[in-house]
Amino acid sequence: MIELQNVSYAYEGSTALDGIDFKIEKGESVCLLGPNGSGKSTLLKLINGLIFASSGSYLFDGEEITQKKLKDVKFSKHFHQRLGFVFQDSEAQLFCSNVYDEIAFGPRQMGMDEETVEKRVDDCLALLHLESFKSRQPYHLSGGEKKKVAIAATLALNPDVLILDEPMNGLDPRTERWLAAFIIELNRAGKTVITSTHNLELVQEISHRAILFDETHHIAADLPTEKLLENIDLLKKVNLVDEYYHVHEDHGHELFHIHNY
Amino acid sequence: MEAMPEWLTAAEVYDPPTDKDRFIDKSILSFIGLISKIKQQSGREHDRLWVSPVFKLAFTILYIVLVSSTREFTFVYIMLTYIVLVLAALPAPDIRKCLRGALIATVFTYIILLPSALHGNSYSITMIPVKVFASITAVNILSYSTRWDHIIASLKRFHFPDMFIFVFDITIKYIVMLGEFALQMLYALKLRSVGHNKSKYGSIGGVGGTLFLKSRAMSEEMYSAMECRGFTGEYHVTDKFKFSVYDGVYCALNAGFIWMFVYFQNLA
């Protein structure tokens, strides 16, 4: 579904992505792992057609995505409908006067009648437990609530692929747990999910495959999640874990703690 | 966890209509341009122009005053030759940027002065566009060869109040921060504009409104942060000025320009 062939991207002389090659199939749940500044967010922008590769090709459903192709309004709109992107900073994603309008923005543009729009918005509100925020101003919600509204507004377009950039940033532990379970549910419902994160516990839960970026903006590994998380030396090498990181059976710990056994 | 609604598990059958929303792309490009311009200027300083920003600023202002005040062709062309030589010392991309702005302004000046020239006033059309070109090029050279924060800090030497320097400094930083936030919002608008938007101005208004709220929140946060760090309303700018040999040569050169200006004035 998504294929990158030797993609590189440089901005004002500094390299952000270097020779990136991978393929993501329909229905997969993939995590992009890497330290800060390794190029994960740039890659997500590239997959969403917001920026374009300096060299190499990006194919979506077998069709090469180029700046020229996205100038075709119909193609561009269909492409953006099929890829839903939840930004790291959800606040930047919300620009309507209330939560209802925010979620209804996409379906209304898609030409649905108001009854269908209302059904879709109500479903999204229920799914994300946002019913009581329906008429609130998005800007004045808490960080977790804003994230939920941003996800609801994205889901209302019913995209084939859901892309989340550092979804756990700024969330309280309970919302984190809920969001991890929600991502799993979405993937089970048939959505292709791409999540950028450096939260290793989240990776274990939500994805079966992890692509690891290093500080030189290359792919350091593309492995099944369990295999990658077992390779502690590699995780240390790319500065994702420190010397306290270790694994108990199937769960990795990032924090230092004392063993009683 | 709520059960997924049926529409969310089925593939969306959607044929998008065409809509004119190039304004989003154009706004995105202009924000990217603005941010990268400021970032570029804050990121580096040309090692080919070693002069202290204090002198660069002072003598750029002096250059403009001298070029504007004189009525002598010879003096203007000497000053023009000097500025072109300085321009030639910059890297090629910066030369292009400096020339672009100066040439556009010069062409406009020619167009505006054309009726006057047609009525026989040849002085204006030969003198004023050259002065405009030289002055704008001088300002562009200062702007492309000196970091913003260094220009602002050099204001201290001219006895500008610290608070003025502080506000100036913070304004430029906030233009970048708010510009980046606005860019994110425009990206979001672009990604969710998947059909026909009946209220384009409403959406842009929403972006503007959120930006205003964000700027207010950021200013309040910054005020609180400064209070926590003991800010009492006074801001001290540290002056790290050191006089170098290059500064001496540059001052002598400019003293020569002042002498030439006086000389040509006396000749007239």
Distance in angstroms (rounded) separating the CA atoms of residues A80 and B260 = 64
CA dihedral over A78, A79, A82, A86, signed as positive or negative? negative
Quote the pLDDT of residue A261: 47
More confident residue, A97 or B235: A97
Listed residue (B164, B206, B198) closest to A112, CA to CA? B198
- CA of B98 vs chain A CAs: smallest distance (Å): 18
Q: How far apart are CA A15 and CA A50, in angstroms?
A: 17
- Greater confidence, A191 or B122? A191
pTM: 0.79
- CB of B181 within 8 Å of a chain A CB? The answer is yes
Report residues of chain A scoring pLDDT below 50: 261
**Euclidean distance between CA atoms B28 and B187, whole angstroms:** 7
Query: A164: part of which helix (H) or strand (E)?
Result: strand A161-165
User: In sequence order, which ranges of A64-168 are alpha helices (DSSP H)?
Assistant: 73-82, 99-109, 114-127, 143-155
pLDDT band at residue B268, thresholds of 50, 70 and 90?
Answer: low
Question: How many CB atoms within 10 Å of residue B74?
Answer: 11
The pLDDT-based confidence of B17 (bands split at 50, 70, 90) is confident
3-class SS at B230?
coil
- Residues of chain A with Cβ-Cβ distance to B40 below 8 Å are 12
| The two structure tokens encoding residue B229 | 């760090």
Domains of chain A and CATH, by start: 2-253 (3.40.50.300)
Do the chains contact at A186 and B184, CB–CB below 8 Å?
no
As given in the structure block, the two tokens for residue B213 are 């709220």
CB contact under 8 A, B16 and A158: no
| pLDDT tens digits, B179-202 | 889 999 999 998 988 888 877 788
Q: What are the CA-CA distances from residue B68 to residues A80, A260, B130 (Å)? A: 54, 82, 10
pLDDT of residue B48: 58
- Closest chain B residue to A71, measured at CA: B22
Residue A94's CB is within 10 A of a number of other CB atoms, namely: 22
**In contact, A12 and B36? CB cutoff 8 Å:** yes
> Does residue A247 contact residue A232 with C-beta atoms inside 8 Å?
yes
* Residues of chain B contacting residue A155, judged by C-beta atoms under 8 Å apart: 8
**CA pair distance B16, A109, nearest whole angstrom:** 9
**Mean pLDDT rounded to a whole number for chain B:** 85
Residue type, A22: F
Q: For the residues B239-259, what does the mean pLDDT come to?
A: 87
Listed by start position, the domains of chain B span 52-185+207-230+244-267
Average pLDDT over every residue of B89-106: 88
Amino acid identity at A116: T
| Distance from C-alpha of A230 to C-alpha of A225, rounded to nearest angstrom | 9
pLDDT in tens, B42-92: 655 555 567 888 889 999 999 999 999 988 889 999 999 999 999 998 888
Q: What is the C-alpha to C-alpha distance for residues B60 and B46, in angstroms, rounded to an integer?
A: 16
Mean pLDDT of chain A: 89
User: Is residue B159 predicted with pLDDT exceeding 60?
Assistant: yes
User: Kindly report the CA angle at A169 between B31 and A103, in degrees rounded to 5?
Assistant: 65
Give how far A244 is from chain B: nearest CA, Å: 33
Q: Is the CB of residue B146 less than 8 Å from the CB of residue B53? A: yes
pLDDT at B230 over 80: yes
